[in-house]
């Protein structure tokens, strides 16, 4: 099976490092900062959208977003593993799935360089494919990142059919409505995890029925 994981809020609690990086960039650009507890509601659609939400409503222009991003990226590149940690049980789960021969992939809206660095830092050798935000490719919930993962898996395994219409050998796991919509757009099965940045009540209200409350619960869907 090919199992596609979202990164932030699914595999890793990245909020503190994201929040500190955003606050640093805001201060350097002359803006007020936010409590770290406010950042879970700002993440989910890439760094530019995080910065947009963190800026005052009258300052949310592309020019100003890019100016803040110029401060954000170097700081985050240097500090993106300071406080970030895997959620409880995730590392053991990934090792188990890897040993059983599943193809593991990451699909993130975090920019590619940071996605690769963080995955390599916390989960070396466990993932076959790691994709983040890339120039010229639309972010999730556009399904292109899922298609790119399936194509990459097919290229590595001649007997794997990425065009399998029932998608019975693919599972997408994420913590947000963006992930849910991405899976729907790609027509692949989805399981939500309730330990991430989106409250379980919000997942249920959206009509999501497959929800895991801890890492080991995911095994029931695999």
pLDDT by residue (tens digit) across 192-205?
999 999 999 999 99
Does position 1 have pLDDT exceeding 70, yes or no?
yes
Q: C-alpha distances in angstroms, 116 versus 102, 120, 179?
A: 20, 6, 19
The helix/strand/coil state of 216 is helix
Q: What is the pLDDT of residue 136?
A: 94
The helix/strand/coil state of 40 is helix
- What would the mean pLDDT of 95-109 be, rounded to a whole number? 97
Question: Range(s) for CATH 1.10.150.240 in the chain?
Answer: 15-79
What confidence category does residue 131 fall into, taking pLDDT thresholds of 50, 70 and 90?
very high
Question: Range(s) for CATH 3.40.50.1000 in the chain?
Answer: 2-13+84-221
d(CA 105, CA 157): 14
CATH class of 2-13+84-221: alpha beta
> How confident is the model over 38-87, as pLDDT tens digits?
999 999 888 999 999 999 999 999 999 999 999 999 999 999 999 999 99
Residues of the chain above pLDDT 90, percent: 91
d(CA 154, CA 181): 23
In DSSP notation, 136-168 reads: TSPPTTSTHHHHHHHHHHHHH-TT--TT-TT-T
Residues of the chain above pLDDT 70, percent: 95
Q: What is the pLDDT of residue 158?
A: 57
Q: Do residues 97 and 104 make contact, with C-beta atoms less than 8 angstroms apart?
A: yes
Within 13 A of 78's CA, how many CA atoms are on the CB side? 7
Does position 116 have pLDDT exceeding 50, yes or no?
yes
> How confident is the model over 138-186, as pLDDT tens digits?
999 999 999 999 999 988 765 544 444 346 689 999 999 999 999 999 9
CATH class of 15-79: mainly alpha
Q: What is the pLDDT of residue 139?
A: 93
Bin 30: left if φ > 0, else alpha if -120 < ψ < 50, else beta.
left
């Amino acid at each position: 099976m090919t199992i596609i994981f979202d990164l932030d809020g699914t595999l890793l609690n990245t909020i503190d490092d994201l929040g500190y990086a955003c606050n640093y960039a805001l201060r350097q650009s002359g803006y007020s900062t936010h409590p770290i507890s406010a950042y879970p509601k700002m993440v989910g659609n890439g760094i530019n959208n995080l910065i947009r939400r963190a800026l005052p409503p009258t300052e949310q222009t592309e020019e100003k977003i890019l100016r803040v991003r110029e401060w954000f990226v170097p700081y985050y590149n240097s500090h993106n593993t300071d406080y970030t940690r895997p959620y409880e049980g995730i590392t053991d789960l990934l090792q188990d799935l890897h040993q059983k021969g599943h193809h593991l992939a990451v699909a993130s809206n975090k920019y590619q360089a940071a996605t690769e660095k963080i995955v390599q830092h916390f989960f070396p050798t466990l993932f076959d494919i790691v994709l983040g935000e890339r120039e010229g490719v639309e972010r999730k919930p556009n399904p292109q990142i899922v298609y790119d993962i399936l194509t990459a898996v097919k290229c590595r395994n001649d007997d794997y059919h990425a065009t399998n219409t029932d998608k019975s050998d693919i599972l997408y796991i994420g913590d947000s409505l963006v992930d849910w919509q991405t899976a729907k757009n790609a027509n692949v099965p989805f399981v939500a995890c309730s330990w991430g940045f989106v409250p379980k009540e919000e997942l249920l209200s959206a009509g999501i029925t497959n929800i895991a409350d801890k890492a080991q619960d995911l095994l029931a869907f695999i």
